[in-house]
Amino acid sequence: MKNPGPAENERLVALLEDALVRELRLWKVPVFKDGHIQGTDITPFQVHDVILWLGDMGKLFNFCQETFALGVCVLNRLLATVKAQPKYLKCIAFTSLILSAKINEEDEVIGSVKDLVVQSGCNFSTAEILRMERIMLDKLHWDLYTATPIDFVYIFHGLLISGHPHLPSLGAQTQKRPCLQVALWTRQVQHCMACHQLSQFKGSTLALAIITLELERLTPDWFSVFTDLLKRAQIPSTEFIHCKEVVDEYLSSLEFSVPPNAVYIFDSTNMGKLQEEMSWGLTGRLGPRQTRSGKGSRGEGDADEFYDGFRCLYNEGLALEVSGDGDTVSGFHEAHQKNVSPCPPLHPAVS
Protein backbone atom coordinates (compact mmCIF):
# COMPACT_ATOMS: atom_id res chain seq x y z
CA MET A 1 0.00 0.00 0.00
CA LYS A 2 1.46 3.34 -1.03
CA ASN A 3 1.62 6.16 1.45
CA PRO A 4 -1.01 8.85 0.79
CA GLY A 5 0.31 11.93 -0.95
CA PRO A 6 -0.32 15.56 0.10
CA ALA A 7 -3.67 15.68 -1.68
CA GLU A 8 -4.88 12.53 0.03
CA ASN A 9 -3.64 13.78 3.40
CA GLU A 10 -5.61 17.01 2.94
CA ARG A 11 -8.67 14.92 2.14
CA LEU A 12 -8.21 12.90 5.34
CA VAL A 13 -7.91 16.09 7.39
CA ALA A 14 -11.11 17.39 5.77
CA LEU A 15 -12.89 14.10 6.55
CA LEU A 16 -11.78 14.34 10.18
CA GLU A 17 -13.01 17.91 10.49
CA ASP A 18 -16.37 16.97 8.97
CA ALA A 19 -16.72 13.96 11.28
CA LEU A 20 -15.92 16.10 14.32
CA VAL A 21 -18.57 18.64 13.30
CA ARG A 22 -21.20 15.92 12.90
CA GLU A 23 -20.21 14.36 16.22
CA LEU A 24 -20.40 17.71 18.02
CA ARG A 25 -23.84 18.40 16.56
CA LEU A 26 -25.50 15.01 17.07
CA TRP A 27 -23.66 13.10 19.79
CA LYS A 28 -25.80 12.36 22.81
CA VAL A 29 -25.87 9.48 25.31
CA PRO A 30 -28.10 8.53 28.25
CA VAL A 31 -27.03 9.48 31.75
CA PHE A 32 -26.78 6.58 34.21
CA LYS A 33 -27.73 7.39 37.79
CA ASP A 34 -28.32 5.05 40.74
CA GLY A 35 -27.97 1.98 38.55
CA HIS A 36 -30.43 3.09 35.86
CA ILE A 37 -30.72 5.46 32.94
CA GLN A 38 -31.82 8.68 34.59
CA GLY A 39 -35.61 8.84 34.78
CA THR A 40 -36.16 5.24 33.63
CA ASP A 41 -35.95 1.66 34.90
CA ILE A 42 -33.41 0.60 32.24
CA THR A 43 -30.20 -0.73 33.80
CA PRO A 44 -26.66 -0.65 32.38
CA PHE A 45 -26.75 -4.44 32.12
CA GLN A 46 -29.87 -4.31 29.94
CA VAL A 47 -28.23 -1.78 27.62
CA HIS A 48 -25.03 -3.88 27.52
CA ASP A 49 -27.10 -6.99 26.80
CA VAL A 50 -29.09 -5.46 23.95
CA ILE A 51 -26.00 -3.92 22.29
CA LEU A 52 -24.28 -7.30 22.24
CA TRP A 53 -27.46 -8.76 20.78
CA LEU A 54 -27.36 -6.06 18.07
CA GLY A 55 -23.84 -7.24 17.24
CA ASP A 56 -25.15 -10.76 16.75
CA MET A 57 -27.99 -9.46 14.58
CA GLY A 58 -25.57 -7.45 12.46
CA LYS A 59 -23.50 -10.57 11.90
CA LEU A 60 -26.61 -12.62 11.10
CA PHE A 61 -27.74 -10.09 8.48
CA ASN A 62 -24.21 -9.65 7.04
CA PHE A 63 -24.23 -5.95 7.85
CA CYS A 64 -20.94 -4.04 7.90
CA GLN A 65 -19.36 -2.87 11.17
CA GLU A 66 -20.29 0.74 10.36
CA THR A 67 -23.97 -0.24 10.45
CA PHE A 68 -23.62 -1.78 13.91
CA ALA A 69 -21.75 1.28 15.20
CA LEU A 70 -24.30 3.72 13.78
CA GLY A 71 -27.12 1.59 15.19
CA VAL A 72 -25.63 1.88 18.68
CA CYS A 73 -25.22 5.64 18.25
CA VAL A 74 -28.88 5.96 17.18
CA LEU A 75 -29.95 3.83 20.15
CA ASN A 76 -27.95 5.98 22.58
CA ARG A 77 -29.34 9.20 21.14
CA LEU A 78 -32.91 7.92 21.45
CA LEU A 79 -32.41 6.74 25.05
CA ALA A 80 -30.89 10.13 25.89
CA THR A 81 -33.78 12.00 24.28
CA VAL A 82 -36.82 10.22 25.73
CA LYS A 83 -37.77 8.21 28.79
CA ALA A 84 -38.22 4.71 27.43
CA GLN A 85 -39.40 1.66 29.33
CA PRO A 86 -37.41 -1.60 29.54
CA LYS A 87 -40.09 -3.59 27.71
CA TYR A 88 -39.56 -1.45 24.60
CA LEU A 89 -35.74 -1.53 24.67
CA LYS A 90 -35.26 -4.48 22.33
CA CYS A 91 -37.69 -3.10 19.76
CA ILE A 92 -35.96 0.29 19.89
CA ALA A 93 -32.54 -1.35 19.45
CA PHE A 94 -33.67 -3.51 16.53
CA THR A 95 -35.26 -0.51 14.82
CA SER A 96 -32.06 1.48 15.35
CA LEU A 97 -30.12 -1.22 13.50
CA ILE A 98 -32.60 -1.29 10.62
CA LEU A 99 -32.54 2.51 10.27
CA SER A 100 -28.74 2.41 10.22
CA ALA A 101 -28.77 -0.34 7.60
CA LYS A 102 -30.98 1.81 5.38
CA ILE A 103 -28.26 4.46 5.51
CA ASN A 104 -25.17 2.26 5.12
CA GLU A 105 -26.16 -0.94 3.32
CA GLU A 106 -27.10 -1.75 -0.27
CA ASP A 107 -30.75 -2.63 -0.88
CA GLU A 108 -29.91 -6.23 -1.80
CA VAL A 109 -28.14 -6.68 1.55
CA ILE A 110 -30.96 -5.28 3.66
CA GLY A 111 -33.86 -7.13 2.07
CA SER A 112 -37.31 -6.42 3.48
CA VAL A 113 -38.09 -5.49 7.07
CA LYS A 114 -40.38 -8.53 7.20
CA ASP A 115 -37.48 -10.85 6.29
CA LEU A 116 -35.23 -9.25 8.91
CA VAL A 117 -37.85 -9.67 11.62
CA VAL A 118 -38.34 -13.33 10.69
CA GLN A 119 -34.59 -13.97 10.64
CA SER A 120 -34.14 -12.32 14.02
CA GLY A 121 -36.61 -14.64 15.71
CA CYS A 122 -38.13 -11.72 17.60
CA ASN A 123 -41.74 -11.57 18.71
CA PHE A 124 -42.64 -8.18 17.26
CA SER A 125 -44.31 -7.70 13.90
CA THR A 126 -43.26 -5.83 10.77
CA ALA A 127 -45.97 -3.24 11.37
CA GLU A 128 -44.61 -2.57 14.86
CA ILE A 129 -41.10 -2.02 13.54
CA LEU A 130 -42.34 0.38 10.87
CA ARG A 131 -44.36 2.34 13.43
CA MET A 132 -41.37 2.42 15.75
CA GLU A 133 -39.30 3.82 12.86
CA ARG A 134 -41.70 6.72 12.51
CA ILE A 135 -41.62 7.43 16.25
CA MET A 136 -37.81 7.38 16.36
CA LEU A 137 -37.36 9.46 13.22
CA ASP A 138 -39.73 12.04 14.63
CA LYS A 139 -37.86 12.22 17.95
CA LEU A 140 -34.46 12.44 16.20
CA HIS A 141 -35.72 14.91 13.57
CA TRP A 142 -34.82 12.53 10.71
CA ASP A 143 -31.15 13.29 11.30
CA LEU A 144 -29.33 10.01 11.97
CA TYR A 145 -25.98 10.21 10.20
CA THR A 146 -23.60 10.99 13.04
CA ALA A 147 -19.91 10.07 13.09
CA THR A 148 -19.22 6.77 14.87
CA PRO A 149 -16.09 5.47 16.64
CA ILE A 150 -15.41 3.19 13.66
CA ASP A 151 -15.47 6.19 11.31
CA PHE A 152 -12.76 7.77 13.44
CA VAL A 153 -10.72 4.55 13.48
CA TYR A 154 -10.59 4.61 9.68
CA ILE A 155 -9.65 8.28 9.54
CA PHE A 156 -6.97 8.06 12.26
CA HIS A 157 -5.47 5.00 10.58
CA GLY A 158 -5.21 6.89 7.30
CA LEU A 159 -3.56 9.84 9.04
CA LEU A 160 -1.07 7.50 10.73
CA ILE A 161 -0.04 5.94 7.44
CA SER A 162 0.21 9.37 5.85
CA GLY A 163 2.15 11.17 8.55
CA HIS A 164 4.10 8.33 10.21
CA PRO A 165 4.79 5.61 7.62
CA HIS A 166 7.82 4.21 9.45
CA LEU A 167 6.11 3.32 12.72
CA PRO A 168 6.54 -0.36 13.65
CA SER A 169 2.78 -0.73 13.93
CA LEU A 170 2.41 0.51 10.37
CA GLY A 171 5.52 -1.06 8.92
CA ALA A 172 6.06 -3.45 6.05
CA GLN A 173 3.73 -6.18 7.27
CA THR A 174 0.85 -3.82 7.94
CA GLN A 175 1.50 -1.82 4.79
CA LYS A 176 0.87 -4.98 2.79
CA ARG A 177 -2.29 -5.80 4.73
CA PRO A 178 -3.50 -2.62 6.49
CA CYS A 179 -6.93 -4.15 6.98
CA LEU A 180 -5.48 -6.36 9.73
CA GLN A 181 -4.65 -3.37 11.92
CA VAL A 182 -8.02 -1.74 11.31
CA ALA A 183 -9.81 -5.03 11.96
CA LEU A 184 -8.20 -5.31 15.40
CA TRP A 185 -9.18 -1.76 16.38
CA THR A 186 -12.68 -2.29 14.99
CA ARG A 187 -13.21 -5.41 17.10
CA GLN A 188 -12.06 -3.53 20.16
CA VAL A 189 -14.45 -0.65 19.38
CA GLN A 190 -17.36 -3.07 19.01
CA HIS A 191 -16.74 -4.47 22.47
CA CYS A 192 -16.19 -1.05 24.05
CA MET A 193 -19.45 0.33 22.65
CA ALA A 194 -21.34 -2.12 24.87
CA CYS A 195 -19.70 -0.75 28.04
CA HIS A 196 -21.86 1.90 29.68
CA GLN A 197 -18.85 3.62 31.28
CA LEU A 198 -17.21 4.01 27.86
CA SER A 199 -20.48 5.12 26.28
CA GLN A 200 -19.97 8.41 28.13
CA PHE A 201 -17.02 9.28 25.88
CA LYS A 202 -17.33 10.58 22.34
CA GLY A 203 -16.49 8.25 19.49
CA SER A 204 -13.42 10.26 18.50
CA THR A 205 -12.04 9.99 22.04
CA LEU A 206 -12.74 6.26 22.26
CA ALA A 207 -11.14 5.51 18.88
CA LEU A 208 -8.00 7.49 19.68
CA ALA A 209 -7.68 5.84 23.12
CA ILE A 210 -7.77 2.36 21.53
CA ILE A 211 -5.21 3.31 18.89
CA THR A 212 -2.90 4.97 21.44
CA LEU A 213 -2.88 1.86 23.65
CA GLU A 214 -1.67 -0.14 20.65
CA LEU A 215 0.96 2.46 19.76
CA GLU A 216 2.31 2.40 23.32
CA ARG A 217 2.86 -1.32 22.99
CA LEU A 218 4.57 -1.16 19.60
CA THR A 219 6.80 1.90 19.57
CA PRO A 220 8.72 4.08 22.05
CA ASP A 221 7.93 7.09 19.85
CA TRP A 222 4.20 6.80 20.48
CA PHE A 223 3.85 10.08 22.40
CA SER A 224 4.74 12.41 19.51
CA VAL A 225 2.39 10.47 17.23
CA PHE A 226 -0.40 10.57 19.79
CA THR A 227 -0.07 14.32 20.43
CA ASP A 228 -0.34 15.01 16.71
CA LEU A 229 -3.61 13.09 16.47
CA LEU A 230 -4.90 14.54 19.75
CA LYS A 231 -4.36 18.05 18.43
CA ARG A 232 -6.08 17.27 15.14
CA ALA A 233 -9.03 15.68 16.95
CA GLN A 234 -9.37 18.65 19.34
CA ILE A 235 -9.86 16.35 22.35
CA PRO A 236 -9.19 17.74 25.87
CA SER A 237 -6.18 15.94 27.33
CA THR A 238 -7.82 15.24 30.71
CA GLU A 239 -10.84 13.67 29.03
CA PHE A 240 -8.60 11.57 26.80
CA ILE A 241 -6.47 10.30 29.71
CA HIS A 242 -9.58 9.25 31.63
CA CYS A 243 -11.00 7.46 28.60
CA LYS A 244 -7.70 5.69 27.92
CA GLU A 245 -7.53 4.38 31.48
CA VAL A 246 -11.09 3.03 31.34
CA VAL A 247 -10.48 1.44 27.92
CA ASP A 248 -7.30 -0.24 29.12
CA GLU A 249 -9.03 -1.66 32.18
CA TYR A 250 -12.06 -2.82 30.19
CA LEU A 251 -10.11 -4.48 27.38
CA SER A 252 -7.85 -6.19 29.90
CA SER A 253 -10.92 -7.65 31.62
CA LEU A 254 -11.87 -9.32 28.32
CA GLU A 255 -8.59 -11.20 28.05
CA PHE A 256 -9.28 -14.65 29.38
CA SER A 257 -6.57 -16.91 30.75
CA VAL A 258 -6.23 -20.63 31.41
CA PRO A 259 -5.67 -21.95 34.98
CA PRO A 260 -2.03 -21.82 36.14
CA ASN A 261 0.12 -24.94 35.75
CA ALA A 262 -2.53 -26.68 33.63
CA VAL A 263 -1.49 -29.18 30.96
CA TYR A 264 -3.65 -29.41 27.83
CA ILE A 265 -3.81 -31.43 24.65
CA PHE A 266 -4.92 -29.73 21.43
CA ASP A 267 -8.19 -31.08 19.97
CA SER A 268 -8.76 -30.07 16.33
CA THR A 269 -12.26 -31.56 16.00
CA ASN A 270 -14.01 -28.34 17.06
CA MET A 271 -11.65 -25.97 15.28
CA GLY A 272 -14.22 -24.95 12.64
CA LYS A 273 -16.72 -23.86 15.25
CA LEU A 274 -14.03 -22.03 17.18
CA GLN A 275 -12.89 -20.10 14.12
CA GLU A 276 -16.47 -19.04 13.43
CA GLU A 277 -16.80 -17.70 16.97
CA MET A 278 -13.42 -16.03 16.89
CA SER A 279 -14.30 -14.24 13.64
CA TRP A 280 -16.59 -11.96 15.66
CA GLY A 281 -13.79 -10.92 17.92
CA LEU A 282 -13.12 -13.39 20.72
CA THR A 283 -9.42 -13.37 19.94
CA GLY A 284 -9.22 -9.58 20.01
CA ARG A 285 -9.61 -7.37 23.02
CA LEU A 286 -12.78 -6.23 21.76
CA GLY A 287 -18.46 2.18 23.24
CA PRO A 288 -18.18 5.70 23.24
CA ARG A 289 -18.88 9.18 24.88
CA GLN A 290 -19.31 11.88 27.49
CA THR A 291 -22.57 13.59 28.40
CA ARG A 292 -23.38 17.16 29.28
CA SER A 293 -26.21 17.23 31.78
CA GLY A 294 -29.14 19.38 30.82
CA LYS A 295 -28.28 19.83 27.13
CA GLY A 296 -30.99 18.78 24.76
CA SER A 297 -33.18 17.41 27.57
CA ARG A 298 -36.89 17.02 27.05
CA GLY A 299 -39.70 17.90 29.40
CA GLU A 300 -42.15 15.56 31.11
CA GLY A 301 -44.81 16.40 28.53
CA ASP A 302 -42.59 15.19 25.73
CA ALA A 303 -41.84 12.00 27.67
CA ASP A 304 -45.57 11.41 28.16
CA GLU A 305 -46.10 11.92 24.45
CA PHE A 306 -43.43 9.32 23.75
CA TYR A 307 -45.12 6.87 26.12
CA ASP A 308 -48.41 7.48 24.30
CA GLY A 309 -46.71 6.61 21.03
CA PHE A 310 -45.46 3.35 22.50
CA ARG A 311 -48.89 2.53 23.93
CA CYS A 312 -50.37 3.04 20.48
CA LEU A 313 -47.63 0.90 19.00
CA TYR A 314 -48.30 -1.96 21.42
CA ASN A 315 -52.10 -1.93 21.47
CA GLU A 316 -52.00 -5.49 20.16
CA GLY A 317 -50.87 -6.59 23.62
CA LEU A 318 -47.31 -7.51 22.73
CA ALA A 319 -44.92 -7.42 25.68
CA LEU A 320 -41.23 -7.27 24.92
CA GLU A 321 -38.85 -7.59 27.81
CA VAL A 322 -35.09 -7.23 27.80
CA SER A 323 -34.19 -9.68 30.54
CA GLY A 324 -30.87 -10.44 32.12
CA ASP A 325 -31.08 -14.19 31.63
CA GLY A 326 -29.14 -14.05 28.36
CA ASP A 327 -31.63 -16.18 26.42
CA THR A 328 -31.66 -13.77 23.49
CA VAL A 329 -27.94 -13.22 23.36
CA SER A 330 -25.48 -15.38 21.46
CA GLY A 331 -22.08 -15.21 19.80
CA PHE A 332 -19.29 -13.50 21.65
CA HIS A 333 -21.67 -12.46 24.45
CA GLU A 334 -22.25 -16.10 25.45
CA ALA A 335 -18.54 -16.71 25.44
CA HIS A 336 -17.99 -13.64 27.59
CA GLN A 337 -20.68 -14.70 30.07
CA LYS A 338 -19.23 -18.21 30.35
CA ASN A 339 -15.66 -16.92 30.74
CA VAL A 340 -14.44 -19.00 27.82
CA SER A 341 -10.73 -19.01 27.06
CA PRO A 342 -9.73 -17.71 23.61
CA CYS A 343 -7.42 -20.70 23.23
CA PRO A 344 -8.21 -23.48 20.71
CA PRO A 345 -10.33 -26.42 21.96
CA LEU A 346 -8.22 -28.11 24.63
CA HIS A 347 -8.77 -31.04 26.95
CA PRO A 348 -6.91 -31.92 30.15
CA ALA A 349 -4.23 -34.53 29.63
CA VAL A 350 -5.14 -38.02 30.76
CA SER A 351 -2.62 -39.21 33.32
Return the pLDDT at 108: 83
**Contacts of residue 307, Cβ cutoff 8 Å, sequence gap at least 6:** 83, 85
The pLDDT > 90 percentage for the chain reads: 46
- Between 48 and 4, the more confident residue is 48
Q: What's the confidence (pLDDT) of residue 162?
A: 80
Angle, helices 222-233 vs 149-163, to 10°: value is: 130
pLDDT value of position 264:
41
Give the model's confidence band at 167: pLDDT under 50 very low, under 70 low, under 90 confident, else very high: low
Cβ contacts of residue 306 below 8 Å, gap of 6+?
A: 82, 83, 84, 135, 139
Please report, for residues 72, 84, 258, 303, the alpha-carbon distance to residue 75 in angstroms, rounded to integers and kept in the order given: 5, 11, 36, 16
| pLDDT score of 177 | 54
- Mean pLDDT estimate for the chain: 75
Local structure of 37: helix, strand or coil? strand
d(CA 176, CA 20): 29
The stretch 274-295 carries a mean pLDDT of 39
Stretch 155-162: mean pLDDT? 87
CATH number for the domain running over 28-145+290-320: 1.10.472.10
pLDDT score of 46: 95
Look at residue 72 in the predicted model and tell me its pLDDT.
97
Instruction: Considering only residues 157 and 335, tell me which one the structure prediction assigns the higher pLDDT.
Output: 157
